[in-house]
Chains A and B, each alone.
Chain A
Amino acid sequence: MLDRAIFALPGVRRVLALLASASALQALCIVGQAWFLATALANLWHGAPIPDQTAWIALFFACFVARQGAVYAEDAYLETYAYDRADELRQELLRKVFTTKAQVVWDNGTGSVAAAMLEGVDQVQAYFRLILPKITSIVVIPLIVLAFALALDWVSALIMFIMFPFIVLYMIILGRNAKDAASRQYRTFQVLSNHFIDTLRGIDTLKLFGAGKRHGASIFSVSERFREATMKTLRMATLSSLVLDLFSTLSIAAVAFMLGMRLLDGTAQLFPALAILIMAPEYFKPIRSFASDYHASLDGVNALKSIQRLIGAPDGSDHSCELPDWGATSRMELRGVGCSYDSHRVLENLDFTAEGFRKYGIVGASGAGKSTLVSLLGGFLAPDAGDIELGNTPLPDFKQDGWQRQIVYIPQDPYLFHATLRDNIAFYRPDASDEEVARAIDVVGLDDLVAELPCGLDTLVGEGARALSGGQAQRIALARAFLDNSRRILLFDEPTAHLDIETEMELKERMLPLMEGRLVFFATHRLHWLDDMDEVIVLDDGRIAEHGPLAELEANGGALGRLAAQTAWETT
């Protein structure tokens, strides 16, 4: 539950020192309240009148409240500290995600990054707030209480002292055992706990097979089996708190018993006996609460680890170098470029040259590396072999600002932000004038949509708002490209793969003119696009199998021919 990262936090020594003094203050209040209460009780027991005890009682009350005051101050300070540290993590994460092009963001998928940023950071904040004061209180409070107990009555102090290492030892042993037991049961546990959500998600499938009702009965029985499995684990897991509790209550009982015996024969006095009895539960409290928060802190530790892994990943190469604008005579060359993904070779030994405003079609079977090649060109991935040269400038990868500011990337499902249609269209040029936007809309054929929307260009679209079809999303992506005329490189990654044929046909008419005067890379498995490309790159298993103008490749009857044959429909 303790992560070493805690001790590497900025200013943590100071914080721990402050927390230690807060704990010491609490311990002194504990001793004080025991001392004054015991005094009052002892005096009353001797038959003293109540009004004489006012001062003692008032002092007890003051200590009782002052202790909470110390907790107040500690928590107020720590709350800010935990927030500041967590916020630093959040800022660093945000920076990593939104500005650095770090590989880790693409590797982990954007969803998990968002989760880390939102829930993970909160968990880490809660963890800091939970764990830091415990580190100090578990050491400081028992020590101080024990010291005073020793001064009051050494026999009781000895009992309390002997119990402590036992508890710690026991916690370690049991913690380890519980962990083993838990991991042994983990598999069945997982399957059972996921059964419900799995059944719910597939409920329409069950219904289609008329099996909806039948599976309804299994929900209950599986859930009951899950309960039994959970209870089995819980019996083990809570056993540790049972034994811990037992240690502390039995210690208290033993202290009381020994005190009683020694009071009987006059070797002890009532006041110290009462004081020790009042202090004894507080002596065990810190370690018990340390144990009971084990699970709460576990989430925090895991979140901290995954955030630090994200943050710790390298930013990607230095990408500040200026590159000339791509023009009709520009030239780019890849030599022997290779790329891996999950230690699995996806692209190997690519050689090709792209020039001027030519259009390159990229085809190949699924898994041949089309998308990876587009990702590489867009700078989502860095190559791990070969050389890239842009004009005469060698580049380590395409993650360069100077390169990316010239690109428009159009994937299979362009992302629409939850924003107005206008903001979505003008995303690359927020300063575009109304006329420019209107023209872009006209060029990509979105007029009908704009006319149909209740608030026209100001209608909110995207997730949770007005849903648009795949074809409309593609048109918006095209409009973005059209609006930013300074971007002369278009990257397409199967833009029409899931559109219906008529929409595809209309879209193609709008797309082709936009490709003029631009360098185009177009990955697709819809072969009809190749008619309009200047060159075709056929990928096979991560390598370039064929490369050249369509007519040439057709004449060869090589890889392209085989690909075409695989997809053609011969009537049976």
Chain B
Amino acid sequence: MSARMRREAHVEEAQRRADAANQPATGGPTRRSGRDRWVRPFFKQYRKALAVALALGVATFCFASGLMFTSGYLIAAAAEMPGSILMIHMPTIFVRIFGIGKPILQYLERLTSHDWVLRMTSALRSKLYASIEGDAILFRRTHRTGDVLGLLAEDIGHLQNLYLRTVFPTVVAWLLTVVVVAVLGFFSLWFALAMLLALLVVVVLVPLASVLATRARVARRKAIKNELYCELTDNVLGVSDWIFAHRGAEYLNRYRSSQRVLRDVDVELDRFARRRDLISTALFGGIAVMTLLWAAGQFGGVHGGTANWIAAIVLGFFPLIDAFAPLSTAATEAGSYRASIDRLNELPDDPGNCGKAEDRPVRTANRKNARTEDAAAAACAPQVVLPSPGAPPTIRVESVRFSYPEAPRPVLDGISLEVRPGERVAILGRSGSGKSTLASLIRGDLKPDAGTVELGGVPAGSFGDDMARYLGVIQQQTYLFNRSLRENLRIGREDATDEDMNNVLERVGLRTLVERLPEGLDTLVDEAGVRFSGGERHRIALARVLLQDVSTIVLDEPTVGLDPATERALLKAVFATTEGKTLIMITHHLQGVADMDRVVFLEDGRIELEGSPAVLARESERYRRLLAFDRGFPSRSHA
């Protein structure tokens, strides 16, 4: 079984990679959104650290240049044989200062810039989280295929690279240009101007030209690569069919020809980069010669004396090339981050405190953990009084209609349903019949297009995050965070004690298992060797919901993918631990249905059949047929 799990994990990973190729966050085609909310606004944050890092970056190159400058001067001055060592005392001191200072500055520069970028990352992550948090549940539902969230997290990583590898060196080079021109201006205005023009060519014109020249090809390369990526992933995932169909060789030929197209673009891009580098080198050589000629004209013509400066200035120029040369590559590289930035900009704007003002209820008085943002939210909310969370509320669904955007037919088309406190209701239907949509409506994550959904007389949509105090959900896939078991359980109740946790673990039948774990509750859930099985994961989910201590529980097909014995044991545990609570079980087959008070069949957005299992078994031909089918061969015990 572990093999299958592993394969699934790989498939997920591959899908994520394929998604990276073609999925914008909101699913639709990529639009260039109007405002950049993810790059520039963050420069203002941590301005000081940024300024320090940039200053250090500039200083590093100044010192590198200074080392060669003073060395050149030292030698030239010594060659005059002034007779006294004191005459070259100052240059020798500076040689040492620059020699020691340059590596140290560079070291500090690297640390500050990384520190700055990582601070930025913390802020970006918070922002990303806040952007998604508002509509988290729907976001997960509408992006079921592939791992968009993983993709977005990677995008943040790309922004880091953008800062460190493109923005930062470029700004340093520009600042350095200013410094160089200013220093030269001190000696000669005309030469400073010439130098400015020459440097503008290498720090602005060449990078810009190479971006413009390669942009189309880079985009084309990316498109081809994405296509290749998706195609290959698709076919590797279906490899067993290629092998069984004996068509493997056919695919290899197909792949080779697509690969060749990509290769052609790559070759062109590489050739361009090489030529550009050659031209840049010629430019730098030209600037060096220009500097030499100017220095010779300015200070030359004498033996020694001011002529000492010629060697100093020329030698001082060379280390600066290291600052200017990488700009073109950096600029071309920046284009590849475009998709990431677009994807982030497409996310909903930070909802802030009053994002959903119209739904916000006033908090009931007995809240345990009043938080400041709650108060802020409450301030901009209308007056809704929530029911007390102790007893299960009556759930009333009144002629509800609901369609997903762009779907041809409504998912729910006039549904009315009342679930009384403590009642156990199974909602049965095919995939796509609207079962899960109904659950989302009850939890208030979706709002009906028509009709009402109420819990204890209050519209479900107005509970907001407080819904978690009334209603718990066990999902199809239980997500366990890669933290300790204790932390995973505490998501149910923040202040749960070890005793509370051991109690619920006992109730869900996991106590002995957990006690046998090497570190008990402190075991990390995904640590090698401690992989919980599907059934165990759902039991942990149940424990979490029990800690949450809610009066209504929704089971959203938690048994899909479990074998019947495990499924049966899990359902037994759920039923045994939720006595007295309202239970809504969404399911696609009959296991456990016999223990429910009522069964509701959904079909084509309507309630097709409804009644207690006993009555249905007596009166409904359809239900009987399903029962007979499910039971299988005669001797199996009754369902």
Known: A197-B149, A246-B103. A565 touches B288 (CB 8 A): no
Q: Which of B31-39, B215-223, B415-423, B471-479 contacts the other chain?
A: B471-479
How many angstroms between the C-alpha atoms of A252 and B98 in the bound complex?
A: 11
Known: A45-B79, A207-B133, A209-B548. A569 touches B238 (CB 8 A): no
1/0 contact string of A95-124 vs chain B (CB within 8 Å): 101110100010111111111011100000
How many angstroms between the C-alpha atoms of A286 and B81 in the bound complex?
A: 35
Give the chain B neighbours of A7 by CB distance below 8 A: none
B568 touches A569 (CB 8 A): yes
B75 touches A260 (CB 8 A): yes
Interface bin, chain A: 35 or more
Which residues of A from 455 to 506 have beta carbons under 8 Å from B? 462-464, 467, 469-471, 497-505
Known: A50-B300, A252-B67, A528-B633. A41 touches B591 (CB 8 A): no
Known: A205-B479, A213-B373. A501 touches B590 (CB 8 A): yes
Give the chain B neighbours of A37 by CB distance below 8 A: 292, 314
1/0 contact string of B116-130 vs chain A (CB within 8 Å): 001101110110111
How many angstroms between the C-alpha atoms of A95 and B256 in the bound complex?
A: 11
Chain A residue with Cβ nearest B103:
A245
Q: What's the minimum C-beta distance from A270 to chain B, rounded to whole angstroms?
A: 4
Majority-rule SS of A interface residues: helix
1/0 contact string of B431-445 vs chain A (CB within 8 Å): 110000000000100
Majority-rule SS of B interface residues: helix
Among B76, B100, B234, B274, point to the contact of A463 (Cβ < 8 A).
B234
Among A95, A206, A263, A565, point to the contact of B75 (Cβ < 8 A).
A263
Give the chain B neighbours of A44 by CB distance below 8 A: 296, 300, 307, 310
Among B15, B232, B431, point to the contact of A117 (Cβ < 8 A).
B232
Q: What's the minimum C-beta distance from B530 to chain A, rounded to whole angstroms?
A: 15
- The yes or no answer to A349 lying at the interface (CB within 8 A) is no
Give the chain A neighbours of B6 by CB distance below 8 A: 109
Chain B residue with Cβ nearest A404:
B244
Chain B residue with Cβ nearest A108:
B10
Give the chain A neighbours of B461 by CB distance below 8 A: none
- The yes or no answer to B581 lying at the interface (CB within 8 A) is no
A253 touches B229 (CB 8 A): no
Known: A249-B100, A274-B311. A366 touches B114 (CB 8 A): no
- The yes or no answer to B606 lying at the interface (CB within 8 A) is no
Known: A50-B300, A110-B11. A502 touches B150 (CB 8 A): no
Among B107, B245, B625, point to the contact of A427 (Cβ < 8 A).
B245
Q: Which of A9-17, A63-71, A352-360 contacts the other chain?
A: A63-71
Give the chain B neighbours of A114 by CB distance below 8 A: 14, 17, 232-233, 236-237
- The yes or no answer to A161 lying at the interface (CB within 8 A) is no
Q: Which of B84-92, B172-180, B330-338, B358-366 contacts the other chain?
A: B84-92
- The yes or no answer to A165 lying at the interface (CB within 8 A) is no
A98 touches B122 (CB 8 A): no
Q: What's the minimum C-beta distance from B301 to chain A, rounded to whole angstroms?
A: 6
B637 touches A568 (CB 8 A): yes
B152 touches A224 (CB 8 A): no
Give the chain B neighbours of A499 by CB distance below 8 A: 431, 588
Q: Which of A136-144, A229-237, A299-307, A384-392 contacts the other chain?
A: A229-237
Q: What's the minimum C-beta distance from B83 to chain A, rounded to whole angstroms?
A: 8
How many angstroms between the C-alpha atoms of A341 and B6 in the bound complex?
A: 13
Among B75, B232, B270, B561, point to the contact of A270 (Cβ < 8 A).
B75
How many angstroms between the C-alpha atoms of A216 and B350 in the bound complex?
A: 13
A41 touches B311 (CB 8 A): yes
- The yes or no answer to B517 lying at the interface (CB within 8 A) is no
Among B78, B152, B296, B314, point to the contact of A263 (Cβ < 8 A).
B78
A41 touches B245 (CB 8 A): no
1/0 contact string of B589-608 vs chain A (CB within 8 Å): 11110110000000000000
B468 touches A111 (CB 8 A): no
Q: Which of B188-196, B204-212, B247-255, B508-516 contacts the other chain?
A: B247-255
1/0 contact string of A417-442 vs chain B (CB within 8 Å): 11000000001101000000000000
Give the chain B neighbours of A259 by CB distance below 8 A: 74-75, 78
How many angstroms between the C-alpha atoms of A212 and B95 in the bound complex?
A: 58
- The yes or no answer to B565 lying at the interface (CB within 8 A) is yes
B635 touches A554 (CB 8 A): yes
- The yes or no answer to B349 lying at the interface (CB within 8 A) is no
Which residues of A from 42 to 71 have beta carbons under 8 Å from B? 44-47, 49-50, 53, 57, 60-61, 64-65, 67-69, 71
- The yes or no answer to B630 lying at the interface (CB within 8 A) is yes
A47 touches B88 (CB 8 A): no
Which residues of B from 1 to 56 have beta carbons under 8 Å from A? 1-4, 6-7, 9-15, 17-18, 22-23
Interface centre among B302, B311, B567 (most CB of A within 10 A): B311
Q: What's the minimum C-beta distance from B543 to chain A, rounded to whole angstroms?
A: 12
- The yes or no answer to B348 lying at the interface (CB within 8 A) is no
Give the chain B neighbours of A569 by CB distance below 8 A: 568, 591-592, 594-595, 637, 639
Q: What's the minimum C-beta distance from A366 to chain B, rounded to whole angstroms?
A: 4
Q: What's the minimum C-beta distance from B155 to chain A, rounded to whole angstroms?
A: 11
A68 touches B125 (CB 8 A): no
1/0 contact string of A354-375 vs chain B (CB within 8 Å): 0000000000011100010000
How many angstroms between the C-alpha atoms of A215 and B465 in the bound complex?
A: 13
A263 touches B114 (CB 8 A): no
B114 touches A231 (CB 8 A): yes
Give the chain B neighbours of A263 by CB distance below 8 A: 75, 78-79, 81
B76 touches A571 (CB 8 A): no
B79 touches A273 (CB 8 A): yes
Give the chain A neighbours of B237 by CB distance below 8 A: 110-111, 114, 415, 463
Q: Which of B277-285, B397-405, B447-455, B497-505 contacts the other chain?
A: B277-285
Known: A117-B236, A252-B71, A257-B74. A500 touches B588 (CB 8 A): yes
- The yes or no answer to A525 lying at the interface (CB within 8 A) is yes
Give the chain A neighbours of B443 by CB distance below 8 A: 208
Can you list 17 residue pairs at the A/B interface with Cβ under 8 Å?
Answer: A44-B307, A47-B302, A49-B301, A64-B288, A108-B10, A109-B7, A197-B153, A203-B136, A212-B133, A227-B119, A257-B92, A278-B315, A464-B18, A464-B22, A464-B145, A504-B629, A570-B637
Given A243-B103, A281-B318, 17 additional A-B pairs, CB 8 A: A44-B296, A68-B278, A90-B259, A111-B11, A111-B15, A114-B232, A119-B17, A196-B153, A208-B475, A224-B119, A234-B110, A256-B74, A260-B78, A366-B565, A528-B632, A566-B565, A571-B594
Query: Nearest 10 pairs between A and B by C-beta?
Result: A210-B468, A111-B10, A528-B632, A500-B588, A245-B103, A253-B99, A109-B10, A111-B14, A567-B564, A256-B71
